[in-house]
Amino acid sequence: MNAYIFPGQGAQFVGMGKDLYETSDEARALFEKANDILGFSITNIMFNGTDEELKQTRVTQPAIFLHSVVLAKVLGDSFKPDMVAGHSLGEFSALVSAGALSFEDGLRLVAARANAMQKACELQPSTMAAILGLDDFTVEDICQQVSDVVVPANYNCPGQLVISGTIAGVDAACEKLTAAGAKRALKLNVGGAFHSPLMESARVELEAAIVATNIQAPVCPIYQNIDAKPYTDPEKIKQNLIAQLTGAVRWTQTVQHMLEDGATSFTEVGPGNVLQGLVKKVDRGVATASASIN
């Protein structure tokens, strides 16, 4: 069974998607439509911008979404997913690629999500940190011992968990986690505390947009971040998308569930190969690849 996986924020690089734009009329039309919908030339930033410009949340999220979704559409008949999943933002790419959301609605939601998250970041200084070399339970337990806001945010693979919260909360947790034996507690260069209670204002803002958007049953199950389980029911998918902003990304558990349900290969659709590396950390023997039009 073919599992297709879609990356999230952090996978971007300058030049991403340019090959698609230059070699496919269908891709070019979608990119130009995106420029119109967003009201600025995202293709110019993606193809010719600076790392700093591309790193802004309002740019990064639609850029990665575009690269993933346009690539999936250009693959045409060779894109035959038996199951899909996306890491954080990638969940929207997965839904569009699996036919649950239209390209236009997906892009509008991603743009609204990025803007809402940017605003939430500006409300309160906050951050995230990657914790390496500890089991999930220890990280969860220590986060609960800290008085400031700090929570597990991304269960990326066994031994790699990202925490998220106020700067004081993350600093205090990093100190305790290092004392508990973490190999590294590495602060991340991110705009704020994604997938934590500090994103509540963004969740409220995005909820109305998601509720108002038409979501259909996807062509195959989507394994959603909030609980790593497969869904095809549009209403459940909507609820899980809303909960995702303040809830953790359970990527480790998602890959485990996909393997248990019969996944034999994982194809990453979009920029980079980070997710393939995370899949290999769960099961070294499983086949992984990057989607390509060549």
Catalytically active residues are 88, 195
Cα 184 to Cα 149, 157, 177, 281, distances in angstroms: 21, 15, 9, 17
Cα distance between residue 241 and residue 235, in whole Å: 10
Q: Which residue is listed with tokens 């997710």?
A: 275
Residues near 252 by beta carbon (within 8 Å), at least 6 away in sequence: 136, 155, 156, 157, 158, 278, 282
Measured CA to CA, the distance from residue 154 to residue 200 in angstroms comes to 17
CA gap 175, 168 in Å, rounded: 11
Interatomic CA distance for residues 104 and 92, integer angstroms = 12
**Distance separating alpha carbons of residues 294 and 78, to the nearest angstrom:** 12
Tokens of 268: 């990453």
90-97 and 57-75 helices cross at what angle (nearest 10)?
A: 30
Return the SS3 of 217.
coil
